[in-house]
Amino acid sequence: MLEFLALPAFQDNYIWLILDPQRQEAAVVDPGDAVPVITWLGRHPEYQLRHVLVTHHHRDHTGGLATLKAATDCLVWGPAAESISGVDRQLKDGDQLNILGKTLQVYAVPGHTLGHIAFYCDEPAEPWLLSGDTLFAGGCGRLFEGTAEQMHASLERLAALPEATSVYCAHEYTQANLRFARAVEPENNDIKVRLEVVDDLRAAGRITLPSSIGLERRTNPFLRSTEPAVIATASRQQNAPLSAGVETFAAIRGWKDGF
């Protein structure tokens, strides 16, 4: 069974280190900084870094690639639709790759950036998703390059994954995201309880991840744009009636930008 370890970087990034204890091999996801990765590998010389997975081109996700490639024998996988120096294998929607004995499916999930991809492992017992900056715990990425229509479609695709899917996103934004979720759905008890748990975790300096698709469906307003309560709140914010789906999603995404 693989193990997931979050290496903190910068102010709120997580570099996910995926470990195969049997093979004593490792993969890392979105290494914006090589130092946490190299430090960990130096303390665990029995592990070899074999793979680097990149979801999109932003520097806080790619800044460590050159150093890691120089220091290890890793193979770098990244999106074909984005220009990222150091990528060895370019990936597009529908591609598959094998790492650490697992088969990963590549999903194109534009919105945050135009070429953003996610990695999904359809393990029967424990499926998992590397969502980058598309789907966050309680939220979603800003629309830096894509449209609301693109991001909404990307999130709908991820929300259709099995409820048990573990979600490994790239930032510790959960607390702020859930505070916004409470504003969108103040009567949603699932959000209330989840925020209380997250507040306790953060007060203790602990990570709030991974999440799950099932939990996101119940508490993430950006996956709930067809819910009457979300539509009603978004309509009040816009001072106009909004339709379910993309229109409501766009309204709450814009609201969150200034929340």
* Confidence label for 124 from pLDDT (cuts 50, 70 and 90): confident
* Confidence label for 16 from pLDDT (cuts 50, 70 and 90): very high
For residue 76, CA distances in Å to 71, 85, 106, 154, 199 come to 13, 10, 14, 24, 36
Do the strands 25-29 and 48-53 form a parallel or antiparallel pair, or are they unpaired? parallel
Supply the pLDDT for residue 125. 85
pTM over 0.95: yes
Q: Is 44 a catalytic residue?
A: no
Residues 138-175 pLDDT 10s: 999 999 999 999 999 999 999 999 999 999 999 999 99
Q: Is 61 a catalytic residue?
A: yes
End-to-end CA distance of the chain: 40
Q: Is 51 a catalytic residue?
A: no
Q: Is 60 a catalytic residue?
A: yes
Task: Write out the CATH class of domain 3-257.
Answer: alpha beta
Verify cis geometry, omega within 30 degrees of 0, for the bond prior to 45: no
* Confidence label for 180 from pLDDT (cuts 50, 70 and 90): very high
Residues 59-115 pLDDT 10s: 999 999 999 999 999 999 999 999 999 999 999 999 999 999 999 999 999 999 999
* Confidence label for 36 from pLDDT (cuts 50, 70 and 90): very high
Separation CA 146–CA 97 (nearest Å): 26
Q: What are phi and psi of 207, to 5 degrees?
A: -70, 150
Q: How many Cβ atoms from other residues are within 10 Å of residue 88's Cβ?
A: 12
Active-site residue, from 133, 190, 200, 257:
133
Active-site residue, from 30, 33, 51, 56:
56
Q: Which residues contact 249 (CB under 8 A, 6 or more apart)?
A: 148, 151, 152, 155, 222, 225
Residues 201-213 pLDDT 10s: 999 999 999 999 9
Q: Is 56 a catalytic residue?
A: yes
What is the percent of the chain with per-residue pLDDT over 70, rounded to a whole number? 100
Supply the pLDDT for residue 120. 98
Active-site residue, from 51, 57, 112, 152:
112
Active-site residue, from 51, 57, 58, 116:
58
Supply the pLDDT for residue 242. 97
Q: Is 133 a catalytic residue?
A: yes
